[in-house]
Amino acid sequence: MSTRTAVVTGASSGIGEATARELAKQGYHVYVGARRFDRVQRLAEDIGGTALELDVTSEDSVRAFTDAVERVDVLVNNAGGAKGLAPVLEADLDDWRWMWETNVVGTLRVTKALLPKLIASGDGLIVTVTSVAALHTYDNGAGYTSAKHAQGVLHRTLRGELLGQPVRLTEIAPGAVETEFSLVRFDGDAERAAKVYEGIDPLYAEDIAQIVAFAASRPPHVNLDTIVVKPRDQEGPGRFSRRPAN
Ligand code: NJP
């Protein structure tokens, strides 16, 4: 049997990088894409995969990336993130555009381009990393929550549209995972980013990667539809139990 192949978008850090490592451990040849090519190149060397530059907001970049992938059994739509935390009254339109272009249209571009190959694989799987922000709203978060809701709707719509095709769809909606996510959200402000995880035991990228690998290792007739995963210390997007600072 030929080697099963996975594609992980946004594999230069966090959940994407950990997922690529986990799938490689399961025997997949993994195509890893992100804008920071040096990082995905190092990762690909480590796991015996293939690194490709990928900007999901660019039509040309997605075309070059998806053309280079000959076969795909598992697609992990992971590239994404948040920019800013502002009430609607003060919304930064560029931040909103970034979030919608990356999380929503980016997922659409990559999925649309790889769908024929996923179907042709005979047992395809699309994993989309959305968020608890795809299921709930929170104050000052509408740019991100609306984008993640839309990304979730895109993914869930495909579940119906692909009925009868040999493709499974799994949405993973995580709560707080300690990655570069908050650093990106707060424009490189490390102190502010660290506060998000202060006094809690957050999830780590590996926790999500193991869930992706579990979904991928189910037999073809088993579709894990939606997996919501949060730290024990988190009840909802903005509701945490925090240990007091020393
Ligand atoms: O964050 P981070 P996570 N084209 O910042 C890539 C969701 N999530 O691992 O291009 C291609 O470490 C970026 O690569 P680069 C979240 O919304 C997280 O936590 O080199 N790739 C990097 O590899 C996201 O969908 C939390 O900058 C692009 C990766 O995305 C997913 O989990 C909670 C790109 C981001 O890695 C992974 O995020 C939650 C582009 N245009 C949902 N733009 C959480 N961490 O708490 C960015 O509910 N990337």
Tens of pLDDT along 71-95?
999 999 999 999 999 999 999 999 9
Count other Cβ atoms within 10 Å, centred on residue 201: 14
Cβ of 81 below 6 Å from ligand 1: yes
133 domain-assigned: yes
244 domain-assigned: no
pLDDT of residue 1: 58
pLDDT of residue 127: 99
Rounded-to-5 percentages of helix, strand, coil across the chain: 45, 20, 35
246, pLDDT greater than 80: no
What are phi and psi for residue 97, nearest 5 degrees?
-60, -45
How far is ligand 1, taken at its centre, from the CA of residue 181, in Å? Answer: 6
What percent of the chain has pLDDT above 90? 98
84 close to 111: Cβ distance less than 8 angstroms:
no
245 domain-assigned: no
| Residues with catalytic function | 144
CATH at residue 127: 3.40.50.720
Cβ of 95 below 6 Å from ligand 1: no
178 domain-assigned: yes
232, pLDDT greater than 90: yes
The average pLDDT across 105-129 equals: 98
246 domain-assigned: no
Cβ of 218 below 6 Å from ligand 1: no
pLDDT of residue 245: 79
60 domain-assigned: yes
Closest atom, ligand 1, to C-alpha of 237: 48
Over the chain, what is the mean pLDDT? 97
Residue 193's domain spans which residues? 5-239
Q: How far is CA 20 from the centre of its chain?
A: 11
Hey, which of 8, 21, 30, 35 would you mutate to test ligand 1's pocket, going by the most ligand atoms within 8 Å of its Cβ? 35
Strand partners of residue 204 = 178
98 domain-assigned: yes
What's the structural domain count of the chain?
1
157 domain-assigned: yes
Closest atom, ligand 1, to C-alpha of 174: 48
